[in-house]
């Protein structure tokens, strides 16, 4: 994966649409389109191999629509420019995170001390419950 190429292709090919956003901003919220919806076709992402694009399609399935476009939105800020930058930044980060290979989990066993501690706690709990019983 070439991150610089990916960044450039996102900035070049992303389709940005704007709408009114809720939240902070006072009257500004009611009259300025600050919310940013960013969409980009997965096939137009450069700097990724075909296998990485397949990974993106599988891992980011909820964020991909029927036209095979990855979409992200941002409405955290009061200003459209900041939201635009946030949306593109988020898009790049979720793509990089989806493509990054996961580490294989190494199976481990509990230590002797932790096993003994767990068994000791079980005995204590058992005694507490045993002492609660009323014998007739």
Q: What are the residue boundaries of the structural domains of the chain, listed by start? A: 3-99
**What local confidence, expressed as pLDDT, does residue 25 receive?**
66
- pLDDT of 123 > 70? The answer is yes
Specify the DSSP element, H or E, that contains 17.
Answer: strand 15-19
CB of 92 within 8 A of CB of 6? yes
| Residue 93: pLDDT over 90 | yes
* Dihedral angle over CA of 123, 125, 127, 131, nearest 10: -170
Q: Would you state the pLDDT for residue 32?
A: 84
**pLDDT above 80 for 28:** no
- Of all residues in the chain, what percent carry a pLDDT higher than 70? 97
pLDDT the model gives residue 102: 86
Average pLDDT over residues 107-126: 97
Rounded to whole angstroms, the Cα distance separating 84 from 35 reads 8
Query: For the whole model, what pTM was predicted?
Result: 0.72
Res. 86 pLDDT band, cuts 50 70 90: very high
Q: What is 3-99's CATH number, 3.40.50.720, 3.40.190.80, 3.30.160.20, 3.20.20.70?
A: 3.30.160.20
Is residue 91's pLDDT more than 90?
yes
Show the DSSP H helices in the chain as ranges: 3-13, 27-31, 50-59, 80-99, 112-132
pLDDT digits (tens, 9 = 90+) for 31-76: 888 899 999 999 989 888 999 999 999 999 999 999 999 999 998 8
Which pLDDT band, with edges at 50, 70 and 90, does 27 fall under?
Answer: confident
């Amino acid at each position: 994966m070439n991150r610089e190429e990916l960044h450039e292709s996102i900035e070049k090919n992303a389709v940005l649409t704007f709408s009114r956003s809720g939240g902070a901003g006072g009257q500004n919220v009611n009259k300025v389109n600050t919310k940013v919806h960013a969409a980009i076709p997965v096939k137009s992402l450069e700097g990724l191999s075909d296998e990485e694009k397949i990974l993106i399609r599988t891992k980011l399935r909820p964020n991909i629509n029927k036209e095979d476009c990855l979409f992200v939105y941002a409405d955290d800020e009061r200003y459209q420019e900041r939201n635009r930058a946030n949306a593109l930044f988020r898009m790049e980060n979720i793509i990089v995170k989806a493509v990054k290979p996961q580490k294989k989990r190494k199976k481990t066993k509990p230590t002797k001390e932790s096993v003994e501690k767990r068994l000791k706690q079980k005995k204590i709990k058992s005694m507490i419950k045993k002492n609660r019983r009323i014998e007739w």
